[in-house]
């Protein structure tokens, strides 16, 4: 049966890869997924948070429910994969992060559980839009996701290039960082490049700000904690022989707790306003929260690790992976419901699953589809054991 399922998973995954859709535009993707889930006999609810959906599978009389989540959106990247038969057919869009594989693994878990019915309770399969935007989880929750479909715990996973194919890794506590964005507007006074004394040079001021921001982490943050401040854009309205009037600095920060996010916001604002004031320039500082940190609940880390060991073997499961500074919209769900996020190895070498995420040549490794499907099904069996 599992060899037949592997072929089905590969077919689903490659179809989804050929037809990528970006955040909140996953109309055809949602139709395709909903049709498969309906055929499996699940109770499907559409249009949650835009294009999101929830499919319920209830077995027995158990009152507990868990959520298993997959993300649906692709990226605005033109695929560069000559000779790949299942390459994207949508110009400028591709599944460069593996959400096609995540959906297929979840569909596989739904099929396994629907056919075997070897649990007692309710499994809610949550297919989320707009993960890449950091907006889809909030949209689904604002649309009453957990009020309409209450759950006791939620589980998610992401493929990880660079990890051996089919291996698993997670950790208790923070596993992925928040992402906050900042925009700093510095208004000086433009002048001729030959007469700098006539102006207030915002480039010099902005340069001091960029350097000073690096001291926030090194001198204001407890060394036992982690954070990153990155200035990624430096925009002026000057010319070759014109000192500009305005500079805009953009960037992002990464951290693992709300307290650290607050510290970064406060100190960065103080640094920027203080330096501008010293030089007689005006400053506007904007700081926005884009992704919540992904913080795993210890009790559900144990469940996830047991499921992974049952599927792949103890030697293939790491329960104390180093936290990563990447961000995941799943963190927003974990602020509302306890649960766990797991990494599944996609492969180590290019062409065998090792091409980095968000790369134009990336592809999900079809060899791990069945492993992922079995993992999610095993979580349901452990959390909702038959005969309880």
Question: Which amino acids are annotated as binding site for Mn(2+), given as ranges?
Answer: 97, 99, 132, 158, 358
3 state SS of 232:
strand
Cβ atoms within 10 A of the Cβ of 195, count?
A: 9
Phi and psi angles of residue 45, each rounded to the nearest 5 degrees, phi first: -120, 130
Phi, psi of 98 (to 5 degrees): 90, 15
- Residue 131: active-site member: yes
The H or E element spanning position 380 is: helix 369-383
Tokens 């010099």 sit at which residue?
Answer: 204
Integer CA distances (angstroms), 208 to 274, 275, 279, in order: 11, 8, 11
Q: Which of 21, 79, 131, 252 is catalytic?
A: 131
Residue 2 is among the residues annotated as catalytic for this protein: no
178 to 72, 214, 227, 379: CA distances (angstroms): 21, 18, 9, 26
Of 73, 179, 252, 383, the active-site residue reads: 73
Chain-centre distance for alpha carbon 202 = 36
Tell me how long the chain is: 388
Spatial separation of the C-alpha atoms in residues 96 and 362, rounded to whole Å: 6
252 beta partners:
181, 230
Residue 291, beta-bridge partner list:
179
Q: Phi/psi at 201 (nearest 5 deg)?
A: -80, 105
Binding residues: 97, 99, 132, 158, 358
Which residues sit opposite 58 in a β-bridge? Answer: 122
Pinpoint the alpha helices (H) of 175-248: 202-220
Give me the active site residues, please.
73, 131
């Amino acid at each position: 049966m599992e060899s037949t399922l592997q072929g089905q998973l590969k077919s689903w995954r490659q179809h989804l890869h050929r037809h990528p859709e970006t955040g909140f535009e996953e109309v055809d993707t949602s139709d395709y997924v909903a049709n498969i889930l309906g055929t499996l006999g699940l109770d499907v609810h559409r249009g949650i948070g835009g294009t999101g959906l929830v499919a319920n599978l209830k077995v027995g009389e158990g009152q507990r429910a868990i959520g298993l989540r997959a993300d649906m959106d692709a990226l605005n990247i033109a695929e560069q994969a000559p000779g790949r038969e299942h390459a994207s057919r949508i110009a400028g869009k591709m599944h460069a992060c593996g959400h096609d594989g995540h959906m297929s693994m979840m569909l596989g878990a739904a099929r396994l559980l629907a056919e075997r019915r070897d649990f007692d309770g309710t499994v809610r399969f949550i297919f989320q839009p707009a993960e890449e935007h950091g907006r889809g989880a909030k949209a689904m929750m604002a649309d009453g996701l957990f009020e309409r479909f209450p759950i006791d715990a939620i589980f998610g996973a992401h493929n990880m290039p660079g990890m051996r194919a089919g291996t698993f890794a997670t950790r208790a506590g923070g596993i992925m960082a928040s992402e906050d964005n900042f925009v700093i507007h510095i208004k000086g006074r433009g002048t001729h490049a030959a007469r700098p004394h006539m102006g207030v040079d915002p480039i010099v001021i902005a340069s001091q700000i960029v350097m000073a921001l690096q001291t926030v982490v090194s001198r204001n943050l407890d060394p036992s904690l982690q954070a990153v401040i990155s200035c990624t854009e430096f925009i002026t309205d000057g010319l070759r022989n014109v000192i500009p009037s305005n500079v805009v600095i953009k960037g992002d920060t990464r951290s693992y707790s709300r307290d650290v996010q607050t510290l970064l916001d406060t100190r960065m604002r103080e640094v920027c306003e203080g330096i501008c004031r010293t030089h007689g320039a005006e400053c506007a500082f904007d700081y926005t929260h884009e992704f919540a940190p992904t913080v795993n609940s210890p009790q559900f880390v144990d469940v996830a690790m047991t499921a992974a060991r049952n599927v792949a073997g103890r030697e293939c499961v790491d329960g104390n992976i180093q936290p990563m500074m990447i961000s995941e919209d799943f963190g927003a769900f974990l602020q509302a419901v306890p649960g766990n996020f797991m990494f599944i190895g996609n492969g180590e070498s290019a062409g065998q699953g090792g091409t980095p995420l968000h790369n134009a040549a990336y592809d999900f490794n079809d060899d791990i589809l069945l492993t992922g499907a079995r993992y999610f099904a095993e979580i349901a069996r452990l959390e909702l054991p038959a005969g309880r």
